[in-house]
């Protein structure tokens, strides 16, 4: 009798389910935040980027979005949480290590470059006696940027002819100081990769270990970032990853530039690789006070105004390896961008570290108007993601 009642109940349940409205069987609609994130990723794709990936981490978990293709040749999708070239986002890691050394009493931000690296910065009006470590980290040194020496003739021929060449840090600094300063130290602001080449030399001089070793020991291992690395001159990007494409001349073809340009892709100013998941973890830990003491974190966030052009929205300030940018919903976000041939990465976090976003765009245009549209779409995406806008 019990078995019979069970069979009757099962049949009744099946009949009830069959009679329910069909809408009950459809997949739930994504939340508003996920729809906005996908829409913004597609807007960046529609602005001309071949492939886009976004990851947002917050108190309610993670959201991801993709648009375009990860490999234009095969049409394959952009990988989920694929490996990225982090470009100049590397500078935030380097600044964090140097500030840890300051907190340990091994360095002072007011020390001059000459005091730590005697004889390294001199010539053509450049004077290491007048440049402080604080100047290096916030780009107020006035030092020329060496990148124009290692990529003097913009174009695909230079990229393919020179991409395997390597320079020692001291060689890059020597190239830069052949030129006159952009302005007297502390009297202006100009982004210069030379500053972080020197910052890495300072770290090695003080600790006896390379900046890469210090980043691994002080940041990557404590945070469990097993997929983030400073590969130096190793050219291979771990898989999975999207292919990067660069247009060198307006109206010209897109070239595959997934292989890095070693002259400025192998040092402390831009060589690291990683994933969006781990980059978000790093910025959340940094803003949340896990990596620096309050005094050093305050120094890092204290910035100077930067010009409102290119990737810097109005009101942006540059601290020590960390930019502060106003949010449309009030307050500001902290972060740093990275770019190289064929890619742009933008990582940002709310000031309390509770909400973070990393965007990767896997192509770059030579058309100024297209570049401006893509930059605006990228800014909108970051702002919406951190404001939680729908």
Tens digit of pLDDT for each residue in 137-192?
Answer: 999 999 999 999 999 988 999 999 999 999 999 999 999 999 999 999 999 999 99
Q: What pLDDT score does 234 carry?
A: 83
Q: Which two tokens stand for residue 198?
A: 């020197």
Provide the pLDDT confidence category of residue 389 given band limits of 50, 70 and 90.
low
At 16 the pLDDT is 38
pTM score: 0.92
Q: Are 268 and 196 in contact (CB under 8 A)?
A: yes
Q: Which pLDDT value is given to residue 11?
A: 39
Q: Are 243 and 254 in contact (CB under 8 A)?
A: no
Give residue 311's pLDDT.
Answer: 74
- Going by pLDDT thresholds of 50, 70 and 90, the confidence category of residue 2 is very low
**Cα(3)–Cα(220) distance, integer angstroms:** 60
pLDDT higher than threshold 70 for residue 60: yes
Residue 236: both structure tokens together: 């291979």
pLDDT band at 288 (very low <50, low <70, confident <90, very high): very high
Q: Assess contact for 291 and 375: CB atoms under 8 A.
A: no
CATH of 32-387, one of 3.40.710.10, 3.30.390.10, 3.40.630.30, 3.10.450.40: 3.40.710.10
pLDDT value at residue 15: 37
Q: Residue 11: in which H helix or E strand, if any?
A: helix 2-19
Q: What is the mean pLDDT of residues 377-388?
A: 96
Under 8 Å between Cβ of 85 and 273 = yes
Structural element, H or E, at residue 338: strand 332-340
Please tell me the predicted confidence (pLDDT) of residue 27: 46
DSSP 284-299: HHHHTTSSS-HHHHHH
Active site residues: 88
Neighbours of 130 (CB within 10 A): 17
- pLDDT over 80 at 22, yes or no: no
Coil, strand or helix at 358: strand
**Parallel/antiparallel/unpaired status of strands 332-340 and 323-326:** antiparallel
pLDDT band at residue 28, thresholds of 50, 70 and 90? low
Is pLDDT at 268 greater than 60 in this prediction?
yes
- Of 6 and 72, the structure prediction assigns the larger pLDDT to 72
Higher pLDDT, residue 293 or 24: 293
pLDDT of the residue at 17: 36
Mean pLDDT of 336-361: 97
Residue tagged 């890095």 (tokens):
260
Mean pLDDT of 60-83: 96
Q: State residue 18's pLDDT score.
A: 37
């Amino acid at each position: 009798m019990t078995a019979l009642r069970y069979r009757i109940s099962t049949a009744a349940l099946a009949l009830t389910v069959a009679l329910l409205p069909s809408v009950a069987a459809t997949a739930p609609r994504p939340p508003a935040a996920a729809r906005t994130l996908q829409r913004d990723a597609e807007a960046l794709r529609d602005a001309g980027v071949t492939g886009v990936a976004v990851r947002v981490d917050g108190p309610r978990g993670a959201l991801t979005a993709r648009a375009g293709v990860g490999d234009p040749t095969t049409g394959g999708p952009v990988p989920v949480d694929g490996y990225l070239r982090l470009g100049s986002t590397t500078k935030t890691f380097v600044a964090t290590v140097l500030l840890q050394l300051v907190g340990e009493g091994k360095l002072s931000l007011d020390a001059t470059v000459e005091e730590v690296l005697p004889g390294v910065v001199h010539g053509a009006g450049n004077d290491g006696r007048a440049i402080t470590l604080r100047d290096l980290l916030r780009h107020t040194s006035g030092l020329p940027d060496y990148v124009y020496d290692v990529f003097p003739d913009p174009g695909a021929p230079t990229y393919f002819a020179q991409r395997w060449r390597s320079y020692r840090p001291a060689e890059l600094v020597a190239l830069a100081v052949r030129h006159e300063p952009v302005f007297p130290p502390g009297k202006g602001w100009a982004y210069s990769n030379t500053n972080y080449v020197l910052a890495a030399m300072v770290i090695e001089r003080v600790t006896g270990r390379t900046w890469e070793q210090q980043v691994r020991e002080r940041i990557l291992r404590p945070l469990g970032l097993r997929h983030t690395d400073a590969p130096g001159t190793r050219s291979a990007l771990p898989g999975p990853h999207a292919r990067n494409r660069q247009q060198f001349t307006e109206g010209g073809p897109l070239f595959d530039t997934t292989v890095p340009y070693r002259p400025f892709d192998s040092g402390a100013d831009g060589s690291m690789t990683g994933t969006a998941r781990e980059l978000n973890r790093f910025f959340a830990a940094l803003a949340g006070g896990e990596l620096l003491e309050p005094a050093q974190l305050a120094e890092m966030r204290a910035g100077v105004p930067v010009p409102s052009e290119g990737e810097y929205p109005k009101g942006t300030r540059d601290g020590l390896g960390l930019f502060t940018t106003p949010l449309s919903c009030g307050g500001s976000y902290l972060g740093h961008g990275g770019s190289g041939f064929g890619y742009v990465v933008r990582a940002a976090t709310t000031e309390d570290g509770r909400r973070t976003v990393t965007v990767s765009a896997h192509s770059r245009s030579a058309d100024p108007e297209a570049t401006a549209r893509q930059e605006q779409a990228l800014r909108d995406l970051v702002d919406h993601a951190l404001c939680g806008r729908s």
